[in-house]
Chains A and B, each alone.
Chain A
Amino acid sequence: MLEVRGLKKQIGDTVILNGVDISIDKGDVVAVLGPSGSGKTTLLRCMNYLERPDAGEMIADGRTYDMSSLSKREIAEYRRYTSFVFQNYNLFLNRTAMGNVTEGLVTARRMDRTKAQKIAAAALDKVGLSDKYDAFPSELSGGQQQRVAIARAIATEPKIIFFDEPTSALDPELIGEVLDVIKSLADEGMTMLIVTHEINFAKNVSDKVVFLDEGELIVEEETDKFFDMQDNDRVTRFLGTLNR
């Protein structure tokens, strides 16, 4: 469904991604793992063009695009089919929970406001916030804010959702509610690419693991096989540090 080949990104003299290949099938839940500084977040941001890749090809819907030279219009078109969930939520601070979800529907998709509100209400109900439609981000806990962000992400019916460390900014007791929502999306067959440090979550929910280290893709493997892997030093070292 979505494939990236030879993705390169350099910031100044530092190579962040050094030719990463990744392919995602419809309905896949792909966990992106790796030590900090391995380029996981940059990979995700490049895949939604929040950072401009220096090189790389993207194959989507049977067409091949040069990632470094997409026009603004092509990027906007591509983003109609993707959603992005940020580590620090990035809710629109001047919009209520409802407004956060309807904003993109009404302004970018020119949807009728009543219809958008119906969709937004359904999305907010789904993430368990049916009593918070009119709350502003400043009135919500981190976990609630992230759930609004997920509602905003699913309301546009994307073909894929990118999650950039969705629970890293949360207090430990709030992580569960967010992971539960993501898991329910996985159960419904939503295609997702998730950068996470929640190893157990990755183990339980993902179909596939992509392991990055120092800007290179080291392993792309089915989840079960990845966690049983014995023959790759960098993987065993990484899993070892987590188990300690």
Chain B
Amino acid sequence: MEDRLTAILIDSFPKILIPGLIRTIPLTAISFALAMVIAVAVAIIQVADVPVLKQIARFYIWIIRGTPLLVQLYIVFFGLPDLGFMIPAFPCAIAVFAINEGAYCSETMRAAIESVPAGQMEAGYCVGMSYLQIMRRIVLPQAFRTAFPPLSNSLIGMVKDTSLAANITVMEMFMATQRIVGRTYEALALYMEVALIYLIFCTVLTKLQSLGEKKLQALNGGAGNA
């Protein structure tokens, strides 16, 4: 009996890990990269007070934060085909995760940009720089340093949220596990196993976060952001 369970766990390990490597990680990485692009753009639109676009940005954040991620996945994957939009599962998941995470991260970025002292902007104007030059070269690098820990938080959260993609037929780690459970009926052991793999992924990210923080600190000349 014990031998059977051990055999199942050993046999299933690569069958769970490989979808993790080829689905969960790319899904997280691509979605998060897109989410950051959305986040920075949406944050700057708000901070710069761009008319119309600012209202659109607030509306976007309101809708996305006010509805469940799982429901958003279902609307796009199962709902949009009713209107004639069929999107394959993997790109669909990427799009929904990016749009969802973009809304949360844009608020993080907005707060971080606003925490950069106004004098940085004024000093930039006084040496002749344009708004976008100051934003790109002075304000955003400082804002990223402030935003780095909460953004790491979001990234780690997202690794685990990708398990929701199982619901729209993306063959990622969790779905792979469910399949094996369906065959073997070893729910406890296998779900513990997949949990462990998620934990390993997140542990690696946590380590990367502290390395990244040290690196950012050095770039800004050590002590205090004052």
Contact = CB atoms under 8 A, between A and B. Distances in A.
Interface of A: 48, 50, 76, 79-80, 82-84, 86, 88, 90-96, 103-104, 107-109, 135-139, 152, 156
Interface residues of B, number: 26
B192 interface: no
A136 B225 CA distance: 11
Q: Tell me the dominant secondary structure on chain A's binding face.
A: loop
A108 B123 contact: no
A94 B138 contact: yes
A138 to B, nearest CB: 5
Given A93-B142, A108-B133, A79 B119 contact: no
20 contacts: A48-B126, A82-B126, A84-B126, A86-B123, A90-B120, A91-B123, A92-B123, A92-B124, A93-B120, A93-B220, A93-B225, A94-B138, A94-B220, A104-B124, A107-B129, A108-B127, A138-B223, A138-B226, A139-B222, A152-B127
Contacts, number: 80
Interface of B: 117, 119-120, 122-130, 133, 137-138, 141-142, 145, 219-226
Q: Which of A86, A93, A136, A156 gathers most chain B CB within 10 Å?
A: A93
A107 B133 contact: yes
A86 B127 contact: no
Given A136-B220, A138-B221, A92 B120 contact: yes
B119 A90 contact: yes
B128 A76 contact: yes
